[in-house]
Structure 1
Amino acid sequence: MPGPLAGLRVVDLTQVLAGPFCTMLLADMDADVIKVEPPHGDVARQWGPHLDPPGAYGGYFASVNRNKRGVVADLSTTAGRDLLLRLLDTADVLVENFRVGVMDRFGLSWEVLHERCPGLVYASIRGFGDPRTGASPHAERPAFDIIAQAMGGVMGVTGEDAAHPMKVGPGVGDIFPAALAAVGILAAVREAEASGVGRYVDVALYDAVLALSERIVHQYSITGSSPVPQGNSHPLLCPYGVVRTATGAVAIAAPSDRHWAALARIAGRPELGSDPRFATNAARLARTVEVYGIVEGWSRQRSSAEVVRALADHVPCGPVHSAADIVADPHIAARNMVLPVEHPSGGAVQVVGRAVKFSGEDAGPLRPAPLLGEHTALVVAELGSGRRTVPP
């Protein structure tokens, strides 16, 4: 059964992670994503880890460029720009993550393309956004995930304490902006289908990470104090964190009084469910160290598996998984959340599957990321002489 975006054509000029992850989300829903790369290719093709033999790209590129077709076009040349324009005449969406002004210098600005293709949705993902939607004083600066995490608030509340800020392991400074860009693109496509007029969609890494960190702003507004890192506990909810076990650690979330009463009962301290020193979240927050001490007094006498078995049906609880644990979890198999994708080496790479599911969907296997320019001849052959300016 075709995915919900079948028939949507996306021209993808993005590289590395934020842009490719955004267009991967669209490709996973059956959009025809045509990845247009310069002759030297997306720099991420070179990044590992690599299979042996390495093939044309590593796992990094394989993961976020699956289900796309690949075309080479040198936008610094007339021929390359002409090819891109012919593609855009048949497209619904353009996505790019160049620095401010790059597309303008190519003669491919939003204004130029909007005049040529009024129905085209044009999306950009930049470190500090595009001046068209708000002229940041940082607009010209380059940025990566770690910069967005640092400036957008995530790093300032992650780690053991204020003296040791820490980035989040996954690239949330790229991936969350990518997800927001996909939402914005689909909203603009819906509008363009009705009006025939496309929009410019702009997402800044900094803005998106701030949106992800929303809690810190209302806390600061109300309390006058900037939140700081405090390890695995939560500044507003208790208990809501990680506790040690005899074999490792588990995450427990029992901020509601009902969940706390259940946790106290299972831990052999039912009286604490009604004890005024612990019965409310506010009371527990005032005694955070004592609360976690009570919970760990019970959990450290048991394995992580025993703690999860005792709690998970009554109190939100889960083990701290490694990648190996995730791959072995039956949930992952049942939900098709780790899938193989073919690799040019002749082997296969396991990658994360589609997180968005649809009823009635029987999604086929993932198609491998394209070789550099693999589909150039095919895509050029598909291009007709007609111009499509309004999405179907």
Structure 2
Amino acid sequence: MGALDDLRVLDLTQVLAGPYCTMLLADMGADVVKIERPGGDLIRSNPPFAEDPEAEAYGGYFQSVNRGKRSLELDLGDDADREAFLDLVERADVVVENYRAGTMERFELGYERLRERNPELVYSAIRGFGDPRTGETHRQGQPSFDLVAQALGGVMEITGQEDGPPTKVGPGIGDLFTAALNAVGILAAVHHRERTGEGQFVDTGMYDSILSLCERTVYQYSYTGESPTRRGNAHPTLFPYNAFETADGHVVVAAFGDNHWTALCESMDRPDLAADYPDAGSRLRNRDSLRETIAAWTADRTTDEVVETLDGIPVAPVQDTADVFDDPHVRNREMLVEVDQPGADRQVTVAGTPIKMTETPPEPGDRAPLLDEHRGEILGPVRTADDD
């Protein structure tokens, strides 16, 4: 039994933000029907592939964020398909879409129309700049991707080396963080409906979400009047909170608390530093020289030696993905999941779910669907003239 196994979700999303949101719901047991436009989700054909792009039904991008769903191909511009969709809406709990504002209205399938068919429906939208229903702005209708959201929301301005250009964060956080927040909004709306019988419109914008993620820059600017900018791997108000090069890689050290700072100095055989810089203020004022001292110490040691010596202090190696695959912690937490890859002779690995529950554990073990794979079980058998 999954925590959400009584939740029926119609997923009209594609690419990353929407599919990741609905995947989280599917992992927790929701019946997610992926309604795909003719030809399917745009990213079905995106690499990488396990063996042969010509033989495989989809690549890793699609597999990673569409596991555990059922697929139904519909053309919402076709009268019959549109009516089939409306029939499904009547039995659904949630509809999720990530089109530009106004797209569903062009199909005469906007929230107000769907609410007429199902007053208890939770309708959720993920857009670059939100929906006019919750706050109209001049940006709505403009195209947006993760890169745009990171640029506008402030992430790029505070990411990168001090003397380098603004830098995008590696993962698509504009999509993924927005998706996670949207899933929270959906579940809150479902909870509200269970108490009141009232459905509602849920809206999560990428720009809004990244601004929320950058909460630190907001209060810093409010308190100081200065716009935070890039500091490399350093922290604006904590030290040491940095990455340091070792003889064979890099480690991070977060020993900004007085207890951890004292332990770090003792481990480095430099108790004098703990005595000379006993509080956070003194360490911040002298962060440049102290960083050089710590960096010289780590540079003479391997990553394993640094981590072992600093046992008990917040320290960790900077890992690549191969290291992650080899980390027993990751396996023990079931954060790597093996799934079938249609068209390949082997299974592939996707990221597991970080949501852990004792009584209704999420189960992210099913592969992503083939296009229109579940038409029969979703719509039922196709009727012909002979059936009448």
TM-score when scaled to structure 2? Answer: 0.95
In structure 2, the residue matched to 1:287 is 286
Partner SS, residue 83 of structure 1: helix
Distance in 2 between the 1:162 and 1:148 partners?
Answer: 23
In structure 1, the residue matched to 2:338 is 340
Distance in 2 between the 1:207 and 1:349 partners?
Answer: 34
2:70/2:373 contact within 8 Å kept: yes
The structure 2 residue matched to 1:318, chosen from 298, 301, 316, is 316
Superposed, 1:211-250 pairs within 5 Å as 211-250=212-251
Distance in 2 between the 1:270 and 1:204 partners?
Answer: 50
**Structure 2: runs of 5 or more not aligned:** 383-388
In structure 1, the residue matched to 2:177 is 176
In structure 2, the residue matched to 1:374 is 373
Deviations 1:63-119 (A, max 9, x none): 000000001110011112111111111111110000010011111111111222111
2:27/2:363 contact within 8 Å kept: no
Give the superposition deviation at 1:365.
Answer: 6.1
In structure 1, the residue matched to 2:329 is 331
Give the counterpart letter for 2:265 in structure 1: A
Superposed, 1:94-105 pairs within 5 Å as 94-105=95-106
In structure 1, the residue matched to 2:35 is 36
Give the counterpart letter for 2:144 in structure 1: A
Per mean C-alpha deviation after superposition, the further-off stretch among 293-302 and 176-185 is: 293-302
Distance in 2 between the 1:162 and 1:250 partners?
Answer: 22
Deviations 1:348-380 (A, max 9, x none): 221001110111456556111011100011111
Distance in 1 between the 2:239 and 2:223 partners?
Answer: 20
1:143 aligns with 2:141: no
Partner SS, residue 132 of structure 1: helix
Give the counterpart letter for 2:375 in structure 1: T
Distance in 1 between the 2:279 and 2:300 partners?
Answer: 26
In structure 2, the residue matched to 1:196 is 197
Give the superposition deviation at 1:232.
Answer: 0.6
In structure 1, the residue matched to 2:63 is 62
Give the superposition deviation at 1:163.
Answer: 4.7
1:44/1:61 contact within 8 Å kept: yes
In structure 2, the residue matched to 1:353 is 352
Give the counterpart letter for 1:241 in structure 2: N
In structure 2, the residue matched to 1:390 is none
Give the counterpart letter for 2:254 in structure 1: A
Tell me: CA distance 1:59–1:101, structure 2 relative to 1, closer, same or farther (3 Å).
same
Partner SS, residue 380 of structure 2: helix
Partner SS, residue 220 of structure 2: helix
Partner SS, residue 274 of structure 1: helix
Partner SS, residue 293 of structure 1: helix
1:185 aligns with 2:186: yes
TM-score when scaled to structure 1? Answer: 0.94
Distance in 1 between the 2:290 and 2:26 partners?
Answer: 47
In structure 1, the residue matched to 2:295 is 296
Give the superposition deviation at 1:274.
Answer: 2.7
Distance in 2 between the 1:281 and 1:95 partners?
Answer: 47
Partner SS, residue 123 of structure 2: strand
Give the superposition deviation at 1:161.
Answer: 2.4
1:14 aligns with 2:13: yes
In structure 1, the residue matched to 2:125 is 124
Moved over 3 A (4+): 360-365
Distance in 2 between the 1:268 and 1:3 partners?
Answer: 53
Distance in 2 between the 1:196 and 1:382 partners?
Answer: 32
Give the counterpart letter for 1:322 in structure 2: D
Tell me: CA distance 1:49–1:323, structure 2 relative to 1, closer, same or farther (3 Å).
same
Give the counterpart letter for 1:36 in structure 2: I
Partner SS, residue 76 of structure 1: coil
Give the alignment's Cα RMSD to 1 decimal.
1.4
Partner SS, residue 341 of structure 1: strand
In structure 2, the residue matched to 1:388 is none
In structure 2, the residue matched to 1:48 is 47
Distance in 2 between the 1:83 and 1:185 partners?
Answer: 24
1:162/1:228 contact within 8 Å kept: no
1:156/1:162 contact within 8 Å kept: no
Name the % identity.
49
Give the superposition deviation at 1:178.
Answer: 0.3
Q: How many residues align?
A: 379
Partner SS, residue 372 of structure 2: coil
Deviations 1:23-63 (A, max 9, x none): 00000001000000011111010111112223111000000
Give the superposition deviation at 1:254.
Answer: 1.2
